[in-house]
């Protein structure tokens, strides 16, 4: 909150104010002033500190009592210097490794990433407390020293522009790849989606953006796909800018917070048959759950003030591409073998193997002309 204080210089040089509301140190900042009376606008108070008797009872009661000794459990196996980084390397997938740790240590535990400690969140209830009650305290991102160096801004600026393009195209490609793979392994879902398209669009015109709102089963398919295979299985880390409490555990300044979206969205206490591909669940039991960051059971695009700003565009692009593809073509597997659904290591959840599919037109050639 911005505070405006009007005080006299003669009182400043004495180091105190008559009513003793504020104590002012004898700093060079105040010695430089020689005029009679002036105003100071204070964002934070490096020079002016309220005495205990000026704090209201409400302010004192509103601050949570933090016990530094009440620390979250830490995973075993940390090595000197590198901490748990060795457990997240190799052929194992980090989100699966952290998911197995959550089964052992609970839905909130810490790991050591070099010199930094990170709180791993593996349930929707803990995620909700982190990013609603503590959203302001956990709104920051870690700052990397190399990016703060003065000689790097042009490089960093170029990297940010590249990230905007790559982030959008990469995650869209990943979602489309997983959806096509699930279609090939679940032909009954593919057939049902085509029937919906024929009922809503017909066979004499292209799918348009205005048709998407009527394709509720297609929307359920996309929800189910990113529930099972979120584009980024681990959230981008946040960093605590002030001490806080999460599910009773002390979270100190500087601790990083990582949400395991892959684990949260496969939680058997929330989802029936969590490992099964069942788009129909979003038309019945889970009809009210969406991906906009308000339902912490399904948060593939993030949550709170740091959620993905491109949710609307991403959904629109994926829905339109899939709708046009399903409406205009039959999908055929070159071989009778099921599609391999193995995930690869990376920031985005890319399949290990490429999707091999044959496309057969469903309509006369003139319908495909621009």
Angle at 338 between CA 334 and CA 341, to 5 degrees: 115
Q: What is the pLDDT along the chain (370 residues), one digit of tens a residue?
A: 433 333 333 333 344 434 443 343 444 333 333 333 333 333 333 333 343 343 344 444 444 555 555 999 999 999 999 999 999 987 789 999 999 999 999 999 999 999 999 999 999 999 999 888 888 888 777 766 655 555 566 666 666 565 555 555 778 899 999 999 999 999 999 999 999 999 999 988 889 999 999 999 999 999 999 999 999 999 988 999 999 899 999 999 999 999 999 999 999 999 999 999 999 999 999 999 999 888 999 999 887 777 777 788 889 999 999 999 999 999 999 988 999 999 998 888 999 999 999 999 999 888 887 6
Q: Let me know if residue 62 belongs to a domain.
A: no
Domain ranges, residue 140: 85-368
Candidates 253, 260, 249, 238; CA nearest to 139 is: 238
Q: Let me know if residue 60 belongs to a domain.
A: no
Total number of domains in the chain: 2
- Do residues 84 and 78 touch, judged by C-beta distance below 8 A? yes
* φ, ψ of residue 187 in degrees (nearest 5): -60, -25
The single-letter DSSP state of residue 276 is: S
List the structure tokens of 56. 């209201």
Q: Let me know if residue 59 belongs to a domain.
A: no
Do 234 and 336 fall into the same domain?
A: yes
Do 165 and 307 fall into the same domain?
A: yes
Do 32 and 174 fall into the same domain?
A: no
Do 283 and 152 fall into the same domain?
A: yes
Do 247 and 346 fall into the same domain?
A: yes
E strands, the chain, are: 3-8, 22-23, 37-42, 49-50, 108-113, 116-121, 238-239, 244-246, 249-251, 256-259, 329-332, 358-361
Do 210 and 331 fall into the same domain?
A: yes
Distance CA 334, CA 319 (A): 25
Q: What is the CA radius of gyration of the chain?
A: 27
Q: Let me know if residue 76 belongs to a domain.
A: no
Distance CA 164, CA 124 (A): 28
Candidates 43, 52, 1, 2; CA nearest to 22 is: 52
* φ, ψ of residue 309 in degrees (nearest 5): -75, -10
Q: What share of the chain is helix, strand, coil (3-state, %, to 5)?
A: 40, 15, 45
Give me the pLDDT at residue 133, please. 84
Residue 196: CATH number of its domain: 1.10.630.10
Q: Is the dihedral of CA 102, 105, 106, 112 positive or negative?
A: negative
Do 273 and 342 fall into the same domain?
A: yes
Q: Let me know if residue 80 belongs to a domain.
A: no
Do 167 and 39 fall into the same domain?
A: no
Q: Let me know if residue 78 belongs to a domain.
A: no
Q: Let me know if residue 186 belongs to a domain.
A: yes
E strands, 205-337, are: 238-239, 244-246, 249-251, 256-259, 329-332
Give me the pLDDT at residue 141, please. 74
């Amino acid at each position: 909150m911005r505070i405006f204080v009007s005080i006299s210089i003669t009182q400043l040089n004495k180091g105190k104010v008559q009513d003793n509301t504020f104590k002012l140190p004898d700093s060079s900042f105040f010695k430089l002033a020689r005029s009679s009376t002036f105003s100071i606008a204070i964002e934070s108070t490096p020079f002016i500190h309220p005495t205990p008797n000026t704090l209201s009872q409400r302010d004192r009661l509103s601050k949570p009592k933090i016990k530094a000794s009440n620390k979250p459990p830490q995973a075993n196996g940390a090595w000197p210097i590198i901490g748990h980084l060795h457990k997240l390397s190799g052929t194992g997938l980090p989100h699966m490794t952290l998911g197995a740790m959550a089964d052992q240590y609970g839905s909130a535990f810490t790991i050591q990433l070099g010199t930094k400690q990170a709180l791993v969140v593996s349930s929707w209830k803990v995620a909700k407390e982190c990013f609603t009650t503590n959203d302001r305290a956990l709104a920051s991102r870690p700052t990397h020293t190399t990016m703060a160096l003065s000689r790097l801004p042009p490089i960093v600026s170029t990297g940010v522009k590249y990230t905007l393009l790559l982030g959008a195209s990469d995650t869209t490609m990943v979602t489309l790849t997983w959806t096509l793979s699930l279609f090939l392994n679940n032909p009954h879902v593919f057939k049902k989606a085509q029937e919906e398209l024929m009922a809503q669009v017909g066979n004499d015109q292209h799918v348009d953006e205005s048709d998407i709102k009527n394709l509720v089963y297609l929307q359920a398919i996309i929800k189910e796909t990113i529930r099972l295979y979120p584009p980024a299985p681990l959230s981008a880390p946040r960093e605590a800018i002030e001490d806080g409490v999460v599910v009773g555990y002390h979270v100190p300044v500087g601790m990083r917070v990582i949400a395991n979206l892959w684990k949260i969205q496969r939680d058997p206490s929330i989802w029936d048959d969590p490992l099964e591909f069942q788009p129909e669940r979003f038309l019945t039991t889970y009809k009210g759950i969406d991906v906009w960051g308000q339902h912490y059971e399904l948060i593939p695009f993030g949550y709170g003030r740091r959620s993905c700003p491109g949710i609307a565009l991403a959904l629109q692009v994926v829905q339109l591409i899939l709708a046009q593809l399903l409406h205009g073509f039959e999908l055929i597997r070159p071989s009778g073998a099921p599609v391999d659904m193995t995930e690869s290591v990376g920031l985005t959840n890319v399949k290990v193997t490429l999707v091999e599919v044959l496309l057969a037109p469903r309509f006369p050639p003139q319908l495909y002309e621009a």
